[in-house]
A and B are shown apart, each in its own frame.
Chain A
């Protein structure tokens, strides 16, 4: 029947409308603005790295080894004579690719699992799904990541026509590990929304289950999901840096903030402070940026704290 077939379009427009509403309602305070600016700068650095990085981040120039910050090398050079600024800019790519794509995977999977469980609310299906998710979530993300990459290994894996480098493996893995958190949030919110009168009213109007789940319930779950997604990006940056730090993440010579810190470990006490400080600062600043943005969005989106422009 036509009713079921035309829904996906309507659902897409529903989700867009909800995002638009959030955009319109976003009155940003200074903290949120700061966060947004930091995030935009980091994303800009990642996208335009080839254009803005002053030097090649990989090529070794041993004659420039361990130079302090100067007019020529703004943030100094590392033990291979490579410009730290260039490496920090290129490092944003690895960090943000992993953290942003992981969140995309996590949100997609988490939302589907959460809605699925909420749809089967009260049945054994819900119990199995949610308890499995609890089991996965009971082990910290970082331990999962290190354990699994440790088992699978850091080499590229070819599956059919696709080649998965370690970065790909890492981002898929982190994405999978985000799913429990996001599925739980979706499940909790969707369960409440599903008992609401407007869902009953939609049924009376002849809407099908899929249309109700994706067209009505999901848009009402978006606010907490967006906030959580922003905070998970920050966590992703730390996880990527940590895994790279122990040598299981981004492989040399590709620059990443975590592997730069790992390299800098040997110079912490020998006076070359610029080696650990700048990648560390990049991690901290970006994480703070995403956290500020997430907190700001929470203030705007939380119906109890906003002034009623959004959800009543």
Chain B
């Protein structure tokens, strides 16, 4: 068995409430192998985003990790101090959020933000080197005339473009793991397909591991190898994407599946459905 990139064991996250602690994540375990894409699906409040933030050690205050191990390349992130954790964030594990419209600082150009992120993790890099890297990653995520777009402000981009820029920011320092927290939820369906295709491409090209979080089982099926289904802070079912999709064991998984509107006559997990959404010009 190959060494796991990320191995989360019995993770617990709690939030203090008026009457004691409320556990949002109740002993969740999941793992990501190098180059693997796994999906975590579940409804709002099922604990999937909190689990992802816990991996980054960025659970919103006053919530905190109350138990479990987060082994990243054998190192327990839950036990790292904040300073060491900062070098992990962005450099080794990166994250893309749901809303690309507000995830970029409105006051700075795309170029400034990319250059700063690159230089934050590679202090030795010159401004020129960082700029070259910025152009490189922008091209990688499919932004044309990347050199010219460096001087653009976030509001000059469309939503889909901004999500591409966010992904560029996330992969700028060549992380090994990309956590995508509902990266397509705020986008319309065609752009969703493009972003999913982009993630797929990056995974192939860079050997990136992807932790894809969504409430949409179909989308997860598009790019993931394995799926974890979460409900009320627990993993209720996990396995290969086809098994989960075609032979769901848990009633909750079946419910999730049934809540996605279908086009009559087209089996969603079919070649026809995949080709209709999975392709996009690079």
Contact = CB atoms under 8 A, between A and B. Distances in A.
Interface string B48-66: 0000000010100100000
B185 interface: no
Nearest to A303: B106
B134 interface: no
Nearest to A11: B116
Given A206-B86, A308-B155, A201 B104 contact: yes
A42 B117 CA distance: 43
Contacts of A211: 120
Contacts of A222: 107
Interface string B93-123: 0110101001111111100100011011101
Interface stretch (A107-115, A212-220, A272-280): A212-220
A255 to B, nearest CB: 43
A207 B120 contact: yes
Contacts, number: 97
A252 interface: no
Nearest to B107: A219
Contacts of A201: 95, 97, 103-104, 166, 169
* Chain A facing B: main interface SS: helix
B30 to A, nearest CB: 19
Contact of A3 (B58, B97, B120, B166): B120
B105 A202 contact: yes
A71 interface: no
A10 B120 CA distance: 9
Contacts of A10: 116, 119
B116 A204 contact: no
Interface string A7-26: 00010001001100100000
A197 B103 contact: yes
B33 interface: no
Given A3-B123, A10-B116, A196-B102, A205 B155 contact: no
Contact of B87 (A122, A206, A216, A219): A206
A66 B82 CA distance: 73
- Which 8 A-B pairs give the minimum distances between C-beta atoms? A206-B90, A312-B155, A206-B89, A205-B90, A2-B123, A197-B102, A204-B95, A197-B103
13 contacts: A1-B83, A5-B123, A6-B123, A10-B116, A14-B107, A197-B103, A204-B97, A206-B87, A206-B120, A208-B86, A216-B107, A219-B105, A220-B106
Interface of B: 56, 58, 61, 83, 86-91, 94-95, 97, 99, 102-109, 112, 116-117, 119-121, 123, 153-155, 166, 169-170
Interface of A: 1-6, 10, 14, 17-18, 21, 122, 196-198, 200-208, 211, 215-216, 219-220, 222, 308, 311-312
